[in-house]
Amino acid sequence: MTRNGIYVLILLAGAASAFAQFVPSPSSSSGSSSSATILPASGRNNQGGSVSAAEQPVPGTTTSVNTLNTNVQISGPFSGSTPSTTDMPFSGKLSLAEALRRGLAHNMGAVGMHQTLRQNSAQVKAARSALLPNLSGSLSETVERIDLATFGLHFSVPGFSIPSVVGPFNYYSLQASLSQTVANLTSLNNYRAARETARASQYSLDDARDLVTLAVGGTYLQVLAAQARLDAAQAQLDTANAVFHQSTEQHSEGVLGRLNVDQNQVRSLTQEQQIITLRNDLAKQKINLARLIGIPPNAAYQLTDTFPFRPAPVRTVEDALAEAEQQRSDLKSAQAQVQAAAKALSAARAERLPSLSVSADYQVIGTTPAKSNGAYSAVGTVNIPLWQGGRIGSDIAQAEAVLAQRQAELEDTRGEIEAEVRQVYLDLEAAAGQVEVARTNLRVAQETLEMTRARMEAGVVNTLEVVQAQQTLASAQLDLIDSVFTHNLAKLNLARALGHASGQLPKLLEAQPGTP
């Protein structure tokens, strides 16, 4: 055997070894069994935040028994925002429409759900990739020198000189590989489950936008109510100061005693303290609103809309329930979550079924591109799961539990929506009645104060009765302010309860331009 013959044998052995590196093994091919995606136990995604209306006393006021005194409670990401003034310059005057635009674009509740939607959409692509062909290519060149003795090769042929070290020699390889899953129901249902989860995230984003509308709209109304309370308190202070000066003059004339003058002065000072508290509350409310919509968190801006009392549009509860059934995004999200859980269960059950995949490799190998030959392989694999150590049964049990939880959450969401609609209608009816009573009460209180002051000027009564009449008027004014606020908030809650709150709100709240 000549030296060239030895080189050829070594080259062929090296080429065969190199080719074997590119042939997919059964354990790494696409024909291996895939696992079902296990969904989280709960399909609800509110990012740990909430927006609701809850009873809360107003600082600096005494809650009347006739007032439905409710404020918007906001927690979690819905209470924050990203800066909105970069792409939406702020003039210092804020309408409700502008506040909603800023909130829907920059409130963290909507921003967070938008990123969750992006993540779930990317997971759909990842799940789909298991069903699509995988194509890869490689180019390599090998330079090798081999010591035959290390392989246990010892040649002793009389008349021939066989070296123990051969080389160096080189070869190159250009390869393309293709793998494709032909039949794998687990991967197919994983993709379907991911697609339904992404659809549920889209509905959750729409629901988050409704909650942002409720948060921003409710806080805007709270700022208006705080401003109205401050204005009413200022008017009461002006009246108290007028009575105090009047009693001082009467005391100097010997008509009233010093005790009456002191009582009126105490009333004025008490009213000044209340104004300080209400002014502080107004500033805080404005800062809260600024945080929701991404403007600088201070009170140095002015609201431009007011919302006087207007009756809500007449609609039966049954019609409202039917509309909510069609429009509520959280209900649609829950329905999509049920579908996702059903597909995940199908994926888990499909793990017991055989799967089919194919793979192919083609390469060009040789010492040089001019001296090369083609080599290929094609593999079809049928994977039959016989025993997976109980994993498949565990996946099925988990998927069944998730589906049962999703179905329970769907029914709970339906009940929650119906309860919200019915409660909102009760609030609307009660608040409308409270507004009418408060209007009548305010008119009577104003007349009583006017007559009491006239009697005091005539010397018929002392200032104690005037102070009592002032307190009654102040309570009546607060009742009216809180009743109108509660009625508007109930209309805002109705927009949320019906779904697509940002579109419903203009129909329910008619803004009246002007500084409150």
Mean pLDDT of 360-369: 87
Closest CA relative to residue 303, chosen from 232, 233, 231, 237: 231
Q: Residue 280 pLDDT > 90, yes or no?
A: yes
pLDDT at residue 8, as a whole number: 37
Closest CA relative to residue 131, chosen from 178, 183, 177, 176: 183
Selected residue with higher pLDDT from 13 and 85: 85
Residue 384, φ and ψ in degrees, nearest 5: -115, 105
Residue with tokens 């009756």: 311
pLDDT at residue 267, as a whole number: 81
C-alpha 47/C-alpha 110 separation (Å) is 10
pLDDT at residue 461, as a whole number: 65
pTM above 0.75, yes or no: yes
Considering the chain, what percentage of its residues have pLDDT values greater than 70? 85
Closest CA relative to residue 45, chosen from 395, 413, 344, 404: 413
Q: What is the pLDDT of residues 395-435, one digit of tens each?
A: 999 999 999 999 999 999 999 999 999 999 999 999 999 99
Provide the angle, in degrees to the nearest 10, between the axes of the packed helices 463-498 and 185-252: 170
pLDDT at residue 509, as a whole number: 83
Contacts of 29 (CB under 8 A, 6+ apart): 179, 357, 359, 379, 381
- Say whether the peptide bond before residue 354 is cis (omega within 30 degrees of 0): no
Which of the residue ranges 43-57, 178-192, 286-300 would you say has the lowest mean pLDDT? 43-57
What is the topology classification, in CATH, of domain 49-131+184-301+311-351+388-504? Outer membrane efflux proteins (OEP) (1.20.1600)
Estimate to the nearest angstrom the gap between the alpha carbon of 336 and the chain centroid.
17
Q: Residue 186 pLDDT > 50, yes or no?
A: yes
Q: Which residues of 414-452 are buried (b: 16+ CB within 10 A; e: fewer)?
A: beebbebbeebbebbeebbebbeebbebbeebeebbeeb
Q: What is the pLDDT of residues 232-243, one digit of tens each?
A: 889 888 878 887
Q: Residue 11 pLDDT > 50, yes or no?
A: no
| CA distances, 318 to each of 315, 325, 425, 496 (Å) | 8, 11, 11, 16
Considering the chain, what percentage of its residues have pLDDT values greater than 90? 51
Q: What is the pLDDT of residues 24-77, one digit of tens each?
A: 333 334 444 578 888 887 777 655 567 776 545 444 444 443 444 466 788 888
Mean of per-residue pLDDT scores for the chain:
83
Q: Residue 394 pLDDT > 80, yes or no?
A: yes
Confidence of residue 169 (pLDDT cuts 50, 70, 90): confident
Q: Residue 480 pLDDT > 60, yes or no?
A: yes
C-alpha 143/C-alpha 150 separation (Å) is 18
